[in-house]
Structure 1
Amino acid sequence: MRPKRLLVLKDIRHVRPQCCSNPPTLNPTSGFGRVEKFGGLNSYLTGSPNSKLAVVLVCDIFGYEAPILRKLADKIAAAGFFAVVPDFFYADPYVPAADGSFDSLPAWLKVHGTEKGFEDVKVVIEALQNKGVSAVGAVGFCWGAKVVVELSKGDSVQAAVLAHPSFVTVDDIKAVKVPISILGAEIDRMSSPEVVNQFEEALAYKKEIKSHVKIFPKVSHGWTVRYDASNEEAVKPAEEAHKDMLEWFANYVK
């Protein structure tokens, strides 16, 4: 295990400018929903609490107060789902240094590992089930994609979406047991098109599992939740990805 961890940290040092590019300006009051404790975590909740269908959004390293992430949760809620965006980082999202460097990222990741995120999200899903939700989908962004792919290896969610995943391996994909959609970026060093194509090949052997793999041209890692809302060329592919997510959940979370 130790050599693998060292390799991961080396990879992070190599790709961190892209992985951390375009950090959002966090806003704890953004969105149409509300923040409450849910499954033991502070969470942004939006949509009808009486819905029997839910989607959990697992954030990237910048956390659950990112306005575009909450805007996407509101979109999902408008489609009839109860949407939950938990604070997996306990009010400690990643913040780049004042000089713009990302040297603190490896140390931050040691404290905020995806293993802890996976344990936390299971409690959130249990809370949804306890309130009468009958079907749950999960979408993970970057860091969150690793958490969601772990969920997809079991039966606690009915469908999964990975958006520009980080730390996800082909072996992870081979273990998937639920319908899964993978949205990749053409310009991505965390999960390059070559890696995403390997994911697609692995899923092709799993005829019993519905899958969808799409590589978006001319976009970079993080494009679905860290785009410039004033740039039409950035908004268009992000909204296309959001539409794909919604269609996936509409088809398989019911």
Structure 2
Amino acid sequence: MSGPECCSNPPNLSSSSGLGSVTQLGGLKAYVSGSAQSKQAIFLVSDVFGYESPNLRKLADKVANAGFYVVVPDFMHGEPYDPDNAEKPITVWANIHNTDRGFEDAEPVIAALNSQGITKVGAAGFCWGAKVVVELTKSPHIQAAVLLHPSSRITLDDMKEVKVPMAILGAEIDKNSPPELMRQFGEILISSKVNSFVKIFPGVAHGWTVRYKAEDEFAVKSAEEAHQDMLDWFLAHIN
């Protein structure tokens, strides 16, 4: 996560959006959607703009409709990145809300899910959240992962430690996570004999899957295609 590209086009936030509800889980507020009776959960880890993004909650509801219990935790602790806050530019904000802290926060949330009878967990990370998800794949916290326009903090060495099936959905126009790097990630996963899938979406930029504008038909179509790819991956590997 570096440079202005990762933090441009903030969504209009609304804590009341979505068909689900906000609850406390593992010490964090979380938007949850779907049946709590499900034995399979999908964990969505937001970008820097946080868990209130209407597009992210809409996606959570779509995944829940496929039979999963979906959890979107507030890893930003009520303080998503605000590009208009001159007192906390992204460099200052990211020191407080770093992905190491995100990983530490994720563990008790997953433990809470397991205590509720969840037997399998898949996780998808968007930009900032993708780094958190990669860390989760290095130990038996989750059973499948999807990275969507991942953070530039993810390294080739990180990918060598991935232990669960992983899909990587990248943007053609992305300085943070260029297509060549996404393909390198895929090559490492193949060499590690990790079930994997890499897809680069043409004509879209970093963040497109959750920051698209509803009036932009091409952006919406591309985002929905990525959402379906993500859902298909989880249906194939979380059952």
TM-score (ref. length: structure 2): 0.97
Aligned mates of 1:72, 1:149 — CA distance in 2 = 20
Aligned mates of 1:233, 1:102 — CA distance in 2 = 36
Partner AA of 2:165 in structure 1: P
User: How large is the RMSD of aligned CA atoms in angstroms?
Assistant: 1.3
Equivalent residue, structure 2, for 1:52: 39
Where in structure 1 are there 5+ consecutive unaligned residues? 1-10
Secondary structure of 2:211's partner? coil
Equivalent residue, structure 1, for 2:110: 125
Secondary structure of 1:69's partner? helix
Partner AA of 1:86 in structure 2: P
Matched, 1:152 2:137: yes
Where in structure 2 are there 5+ consecutive unaligned residues? none
Equivalent residue, structure 2, for 1:171: 157
Matched, 1:191 2:177: yes
Aligned mates of 2:147, 2:43 — CA distance in 1 = 12
- Aligned CA distance change for structure 1 residues 228 and 112 (closer, same or farther; 3 Å): same
Partner AA of 1:180 in structure 2: M
Equivalent residue, structure 1, for 2:219: 234
Query: Which of these residues, 122, 127, 137, is aligned with residue 142 of structure 1?
Result: 127
Partner AA of 2:107 in structure 1: K
Mapping of residues 213-232 of structure 1, within 5 Å: 213-232=198-217
Percent identity (aligned)? 57
Secondary structure of 2:16's partner? coil
TM superposition shift of 1:102: 9.8
- Aligned CA distance change for structure 1 residues 170 and 95 (closer, same or farther; 3 Å): same
TM-score (ref. length: structure 1): 0.91
Aligned mates of 1:83, 1:201 — CA distance in 2 = 30
Query: Which of these residues, 32, 54, 67, is aligned with residue 19 of structure 2?
Result: 32
TM superposition shift of 1:21: 1.6
Mapping of residues 236-251 of structure 1, within 5 Å: 236-251=221-236
Equivalent residue, structure 1, for 2:6: 19
Matched, 1:68 2:55: yes
Aligned mates of 2:104, 2:190 — CA distance in 1 = 29
Secondary structure of 2:208's partner? coil
Partner AA of 1:92 in structure 2: E
Partner AA of 2:109 in structure 1: V
Q: Assess if the C-alpha contact under 8 Å between 1:73 and 1:84 holds in 2.
A: yes
Q: Assess if the C-alpha contact under 8 Å between 1:96 and 1:102 holds in 2.
A: no
TM superposition shift of 1:103: 7.0
Matched, 1:80 2:67: yes
Aligned mates of 1:135, 1:103 — CA distance in 2 = 38
- Aligned CA distance change for structure 1 residues 170 and 82 (closer, same or farther; 3 Å): same
TM superposition shift of 1:141: 0.3
After TM superposition, where is structure 1 displaced by more than 4 Å over at least 4 residues in a row? none
Query: Which of these residues, 211, 221, 235, is aligned with residue 196 of structure 2?
Result: 211
> Which string of whole-angstrom CA distances, capped at 9 and with x for unpartnered residues, describes residues 196-228 of structure 1?
111111112022x21001111110000000001
Matched, 1:91 2:83: no
